[in-house]
A and B are shown apart, each in its own frame.
Chain A
Amino acid sequence: MADVLTLTTRRMIIPAVALLTALAGCGGSVTSGESGGGGGGGQRADANAKVYERLGALTGPQRRAQMIAEAKKDGQLTLYTSLTDDVAGAVVKEFTRQTGVKVNLFRGGSETVLQRVLQESDARRIRNDVVETNFLEMATLAQRGVLAKFQGPALGNVEKTGRFDAWTATRFNIMLPAWNTNLIRPGDEPRSWEDLAGPRFKGKLTMELSDNDWYANVTKYWLAHGKTQAQVDQLWKQIVGNAKVVKGHTVMGQLLAAGQTGVDAMNYTYLVQKDIDSGAPVAFRSDDGIAHTPAFPRPNGVGMMKDAPHPAAAILFYDWMLTDGQRALVDEGLTPSTKVPGDKSLNGITLVPYDVRGLVANEKSWAQRYDALLRGVQRAGGGG
């Protein structure tokens, strides 16, 4: 019977495979997003540009009122963001409460948000109005020309270092060392990035697998403050010699709280603060309430799409994120990009510039160097 059965099957499979190959690859590049141009200029872009210009030029109380009136006509807003879900939820809730505009929320890692926007824009099926994510992805979107320029007095609240061509910083992730207060006695904690290289942290340090932007910033900071390349290389070698490597800042924070490691070479202060709030024996400030290590603020920002389906809602959200929305971020323990009364997230912290431009231009080479540095752990015979 098997032979009888083969007759039709035999004729089917090979042509079928050929047909499928043809079907699957209906041209274009799927992943790089380099085809199709991507950028704005879709059918909606021209009409949207007029809306953005008209509403952006308004000032005073009329500005917000007019934006809200038109956004309500749009009916809804679609936001793609890498804000964590509790913060995103709070921000969206507050926005809807204040403006009456319903929000569709998509959350993903910053790379996911970027890929999604690029894919939809290449296919000319733009579904989001605004995007809020990490600087590197925002800069890429700006380069690809999918973001519209925003104007308005709210920009004046943001420091110059947080203003870019087609996007604006909304918040900062603060990078500092963190330690377990049961394992590291007061006075022994790291008080500078150089301290991480000290012999007292041998085997007590943990680094994260993908922290290449931190690596880039510390390196540049040292070079700018009088160290030679050889000295910098030596410091990194010692730090890596002290360290073990782990994947993910959350797990890293939890292992720190559990006492599995004594010091996180770098963790984000808002994550560590959550553990502190739940009573974990961890800290990023010394007993005097001061974080003695200079901190790098990594910007995250907001941008609006040239081809947004709901342009009035888009510009309203942008405007709101730089004004009333900042309060919502502070209430969730984040560091805002403008001065907000009652914000304690930066107390005792000294900020030094975070090199946005350098990383946008050379992220890949820093990633490769960091990767090679960490794998040097292996060559040195293991640090754990």
Chain B
Amino acid sequence: MLDVRIARLPTARLGQALRHLLSWRTVIVAGCVLVVGFLAVVPLYHLVRDTFTGEQGFTLGAFARAYGGDSQSAAMLRNSLVFAVGAGLLALVLGTALAYIQVRTDTPFKGLFFAASLVPLIIPAILYAAAWIFLADPEIGLVNSALESIIGVRPLNVFSVWGMIWVQGLHLAPIAFLLMVAAFRAMDPSLEESALMSGASWARTLRRITVPLLRPALVSAVLLMFVQSLESFEVPGLLGLQNGIYVFTSRIYFVLRSFPIDYGMAGAYALGLLAIAAAGVLLSGRLSGDARGFQTISGKAFRPRPIELGRARPFVGAAVLAYFAITVVLPIGVLVYTSLLGFYTAPSMAALRSMSLDNYREALNLPIAVTALKNSVLLGVGSATAVMFLAAVVSWVIVRTRAPGRRLLDILAFSPIVIPGLVLGLALAFVYLRSPLPIYGTLWILLISYSTRYLPYGMRYASAAMTQLSAELEESAHVCGASWWQTFRRVLLPLTSGGIVAGWIYILVVSFRELSSSILLYSPGKEVLSVLIWEQFENGRFTLLAAIGVLMVTILVGLVLVAYRIGAGVGLKTDD
């Protein structure tokens, strides 16, 4: 029937239809949707298949094994929820407050925000948690010792739910900070000013104007941080287990470690997490449903003007310094101190005398260090760029169009966040070992893996930025005769650049830490930094590891500084 209709069309109409079909917009949008879908579906398909397939075909046995019997899953789920909610809330409050101070006020020490927003992100979680053990252990913690000499007791215990929330919250706060900085910059402060002028109190303005306008970014931040806390195991593994606090992911860890690996059971856990994550995505879609309500970037010009803090300025400045000291100086200080020793020991004259730069010398002389650094930079820049481009296009489809299936696409693009890295690695190896394309055994497979893993983050950053953008700007461009691609490139990308750059930086930084799929997919000569770090862990070389961590912080802060400079060069807004 279709053939008949096409046959009846005049040739001119056919040509037009074809041109329309092959327009830039269709090609790019379709291409990006397909790529994102493919990236997400490959691991998800294998996860689902392994979960529901047993020896005799379809089965739900994996769920019984995962959640039934003596698995104590209820208690673990409870611990996980308390941990994830607590860490997410702490990170949200810290990140948002910092972002507000950074963007909206004339606070002193603005330069410090940059480091405070990045450094905790760069340090591998396991090093960050270990640093906090050395700071806040009830027996040997340095902060505890210092406090004891002042107030007579050792009040801190990092091996508690509070300790876990604290460390994870500080580690996550940069996600919220990066998202909220972009959101605040895209928000016209005159709305708040009008409220204040009309007699609303500061708190009322915050509640009725600021928070509602920020909702897309807030929801994105909460979603990312909550799910990431649910599925991470470094902090609970190091801090929780010492007091018998088991979380949900300790089960996944256990399952993936015991032999033969029960992938069905691991999948059943991952799908449990996916259900929570999907509910979050749908909820965030509903909350941002009335898109117009959040569109703060419109045809009207505005210039964010910093609020003068006045007498509060020194206090805000002191709070910023304190935050910087706690999240950056203390843990990095401990790592620098450790990196100068042969083994960790509390500071003493003997320890000071034994200090040397040996670990740094060794780190720089590791045979694969240069290769690994080069590959990590390539992959970090490559995956951050690829993901943010894909995410910008796909989030445009999700936010701007009414295409059926767009919510499904949104969930699909978010699903990689719950897929264990090992399962992702196996799925990719499976597909590309059977592909005629030369991808397996090259850096490309790592690029695909990283792009899949960080897609959810890119999507949240991009869609939060896209939601704030009024459609009238695109319409104006269209009316003026711009093609879709021109509009996308000249209007959409620049106006969402705050969110896009924040996402790009986030992905660049965390990609340096990606291990669980890298370790399976790298090949000789294609090592990455995280593999190098893992090797030193296996080796029992903790102090060398601290040195590598310090070097990584230095290198990445340098890289991001350069990125910011380039960004400033092409017209990104800065607040300094």
Instruction: Name A residues whose Cβ lies closer than 8 Å to a Cβ of B.
Output: 1-3, 5-6, 8-10, 12-14, 16-17, 19-21, 23-26, 28-32, 78, 84-86, 89, 104-109, 111-112, 115-116, 119-120, 122-123, 125, 127, 136, 140, 209-210, 212, 244-251, 253-255, 257-260, 271, 274-275, 278-280, 363-364, 367-368, 371-372, 375, 377-378, 380, 382-384
Q: Please determine whether B29 and A12 come into contact, CB atoms closer than 8 angstroms.
A: yes
Known: A20-B41, A109-B538, A247-B241. 8 other contacts (CB 8 A): A2-B400, A17-B37, A20-B34, A32-B263, A125-B440, A209-B237, A246-B238, A278-B343
Q: Please determine whether A378 and B244 come into contact, CB atoms closer than 8 angstroms.
A: yes
- The verdict on A251 contacting B37 (CB below 8 Å), with A14-B404, A245-B244 known, is no
Q: Please determine whether B520 and A5 come into contact, CB atoms closer than 8 angstroms.
A: no
Report the Cα distance A274→B343, complex, angstroms.
Answer: 10
The answer to whether the Cβ of B535 comes within 8 Å of any Cβ in the partner chain is: yes
Report the Cα distance A10→B259, complex, angstroms.
Answer: 46
Q: Please determine whether A257 and B405 come into contact, CB atoms closer than 8 angstroms.
A: no
Residue of A whose beta carbon sits closest to that of B257: A210
The answer to whether the Cβ of B571 comes within 8 Å of any Cβ in the partner chain is: no
Q: Please determine whether B343 and A279 come into contact, CB atoms closer than 8 angstroms.
A: yes
Q: Please determine whether A105 and B159 come into contact, CB atoms closer than 8 angstroms.
A: no
Instruction: Name B residues whose Cβ lies closer than 8 Å to a Cβ of A.
Output: 20-21, 25-26, 29-30, 33-34, 37-38, 41-42, 44-46, 49-50, 53, 70, 72, 75, 126, 130, 133-134, 137, 139-140, 159, 233, 237-238, 241-246, 250, 253-254, 256-261, 263, 342-346, 354, 366-368, 397, 400-406, 408-409, 412, 422-423, 426-427, 429-431, 433-434, 440-441, 471, 474-475, 478, 519-520, 522-525, 531, 535-543
Q: Please determine whether B343 and A108 come into contact, CB atoms closer than 8 angstroms.
A: no
Residue of B whose beta carbon sits closest to that of A17: B37
Chain A residues contacting B20 (CB-CB under 8 Å) are: 8
Chain A residues contacting B412 (CB-CB under 8 Å) are: 17
Residue of A whose beta carbon sits closest to that of B400: A2
- The verdict on A253 contacting B540 (CB below 8 Å), with A105-B524, A120-B433, A260-B137 known, is yes
* Shortest distance between the CB of A333 and any CB in chain B (Å): 11
Q: Please determine whether B45 and A24 come into contact, CB atoms closer than 8 angstroms.
A: yes
* Shortest distance between the CB of B409 and any CB in chain A (Å): 6
Residue of A whose beta carbon sits closest to that of B476: A1
Q: Please determine whether A246 and B241 come into contact, CB atoms closer than 8 angstroms.
A: yes
CB < 8 Å neighbour of A25 from B46, B242, B406, B423: B46
Chain A residues contacting B263 (CB-CB under 8 Å) are: 31-32
Q: Please determine whether A24 and B41 come into contact, CB atoms closer than 8 angstroms.
A: yes
Residue of A whose beta carbon sits closest to that of B72: A375
Q: Please determine whether B523 and A31 come into contact, CB atoms closer than 8 angstroms.
A: no
Residue of A whose beta carbon sits closest to that of B522: A106
Q: Which 7 A-B pairs have the closest CB atoms?
A: A278-B342, A123-B433, A367-B258, A30-B430, A13-B405, A247-B237, A378-B244
Q: Please determine whether A375 and B246 come into contact, CB atoms closer than 8 angstroms.
A: yes
* Shortest distance between the CB of A378 and any CB in chain B (Å): 4
Report the Cα distance A382→B250, complex, angstroms.
Answer: 17
Residue of B whose beta carbon sits closest to that of A4: B478
Chain A residues contacting B474 (CB-CB under 8 Å) are: 1
Report the Cα distance A84→B535, complex, angstroms.
Answer: 7
Chain B residues contacting A17 (CB-CB under 8 Å) are: 37, 41, 405, 408-409, 412
Residue of A whose beta carbon sits closest to that of B536: A85
CB < 8 Å neighbour of A108 from B21, B426, B519: B519
Report the Cα distance A278→B541, complex, angstroms.
Answer: 10
A-B contact pairs, 21 of them (CB 8 A): A9-B401, A10-B404, A12-B30, A24-B38, A84-B538, A84-B539, A84-B540, A86-B539, A105-B524, A111-B256, A115-B422, A115-B520, A119-B429, A209-B241, A248-B238, A257-B345, A259-B139, A274-B539, A278-B343, A278-B543, A367-B254
Q: Please determine whether A254 and B130 come into contact, CB atoms closer than 8 angstroms.
A: yes
* Shortest distance between the CB of A283 and any CB in chain B (Å): 13
The binding surface of chain B is classed by DSSP as helix
CB < 8 Å neighbour of B159 from A20, A26, A384: A384
Chain A residues contacting B75 (CB-CB under 8 Å) are: 378
- The verdict on A377 contacting B539 (CB below 8 Å), with A123-B434, A275-B343 known, is no
Report the Cα distance A247→B250, complex, angstroms.
Answer: 10
CB < 8 Å neighbour of B537 from A209, A246, A250, A255: A250
Residue of B whose beta carbon sits closest to that of A250: B540
CB < 8 Å neighbour of B471 from A1, A122, A258, A364: A1
* Shortest distance between the CB of A188 and any CB in chain B (Å): 18
Q: Please determine whether A108 and B520 come into contact, CB atoms closer than 8 angstroms.
A: yes
Q: Please determine whether A279 and B354 come into contact, CB atoms closer than 8 angstroms.
A: yes
- The verdict on A106 contacting B45 (CB below 8 Å), with A84-B535, A279-B342, A377-B244 known, is no
Chain B residues contacting A1 (CB-CB under 8 Å) are: 471, 474-475, 478
Chain A residues contacting B423 (CB-CB under 8 Å) are: 31
Report the Cα distance A107→B250, complex, angstroms.
Answer: 25
* Shortest distance between the CB of B475 and any CB in chain A (Å): 5
* Shortest distance between the CB of B291 and any CB in chain A (Å): 10
Report the Cα distance A6→B399, complex, angstroms.
Answer: 11
Chain B residues contacting A246 (CB-CB under 8 Å) are: 237-238, 241-242
* Shortest distance between the CB of A36 and any CB in chain B (Å): 10
Q: Please determine whether B431 and A24 come into contact, CB atoms closer than 8 angstroms.
A: yes
Report the Cα distance A278→B478, complex, angstroms.
Answer: 69
Chain A residues contacting B538 (CB-CB under 8 Å) are: 84-85, 109, 250
Report the Cα distance A208→B322, complex, angstroms.
Answer: 36
- The verdict on A5 contacting B535 (CB below 8 Å), with A250-B542, A278-B342 known, is no
Q: Please determine whether B254 and A371 come into contact, CB atoms closer than 8 angstroms.
A: yes
CB < 8 Å neighbour of A109 from B53, B429, B519: B519
Chain B residues contacting A275 (CB-CB under 8 Å) are: 343, 540
Chain B residues contacting A2 (CB-CB under 8 Å) are: 400-402, 471
Q: Please determine whether B426 and A115 come into contact, CB atoms closer than 8 angstroms.
A: yes
Chain B residues contacting A21 (CB-CB under 8 Å) are: 41, 45
Report the Cα distance A250→B541, complex, angstroms.
Answer: 7
Chain B residues contacting A377 (CB-CB under 8 Å) are: 244
Chain A residues contacting B37 (CB-CB under 8 Å) are: 16-17, 20
Residue of B whose beta carbon sits closest to that of A272: B540
Chain B residues contacting A364 (CB-CB under 8 Å) are: 258-260
Report the Cα distance A275→B341, complex, angstroms.
Answer: 11
Chain B residues contacting A24 (CB-CB under 8 Å) are: 38, 41-42, 44-46, 431
Report the Cα distance A31→B45, complex, angstroms.
Answer: 12
- The verdict on A31 contacting B50 (CB below 8 Å), with A1-B475, A274-B541 known, is yes
Q: Please determine whether B72 and A9 come into contact, CB atoms closer than 8 angstroms.
A: no
* Shortest distance between the CB of A320 and any CB in chain B (Å): 19
Q: Please determine whether B403 and A258 come into contact, CB atoms closer than 8 angstroms.
A: no
Residue of B whose beta carbon sits closest to that of A28: B430
* Shortest distance between the CB of A351 and any CB in chain B (Å): 22
Chain A residues contacting B406 (CB-CB under 8 Å) are: 9, 13
* Shortest distance between the CB of B279 and any CB in chain A (Å): 20
Report the Cα distance A195→B82, complex, angstroms.
Answer: 37
Q: Please determine whether B431 and A258 come into contact, CB atoms closer than 8 angstroms.
A: no
Q: Please determine whether A6 and B403 come into contact, CB atoms closer than 8 angstroms.
A: yes
Q: Please determine whether A5 and B401 come into contact, CB atoms closer than 8 angstroms.
A: yes
* Shortest distance between the CB of B520 and any CB in chain A (Å): 5
* Shortest distance between the CB of A238 and any CB in chain B (Å): 16
Report the Cα distance A106→B409, complex, angstroms.
Answer: 37
Chain A residues contacting B259 (CB-CB under 8 Å) are: 111, 136, 140, 363-364, 367
Q: Please determine whether A8 and B26 come into contact, CB atoms closer than 8 angstroms.
A: yes
* Shortest distance between the CB of A115 and any CB in chain B (Å): 6
Report the Cα distance A140→B538, complex, angstroms.
Answer: 22
* Shortest distance between the CB of A250 and any CB in chain B (Å): 5
Report the Cα distance A13→B438, complex, angstroms.
Answer: 29
Which has the most chain B C-beta neighbours within 10 Å: A13, A89, A367? Answer: A13
Report the Cα distance A384→B157, complex, angstroms.
Answer: 11
Which has the most chain A C-beta neighbours within 10 Å: B33, B258, B408, B474? Answer: B258
Residue of B whose beta carbon sits closest to that of A182: B345
Residue of A whose beta carbon sits closest to that of B48: A25
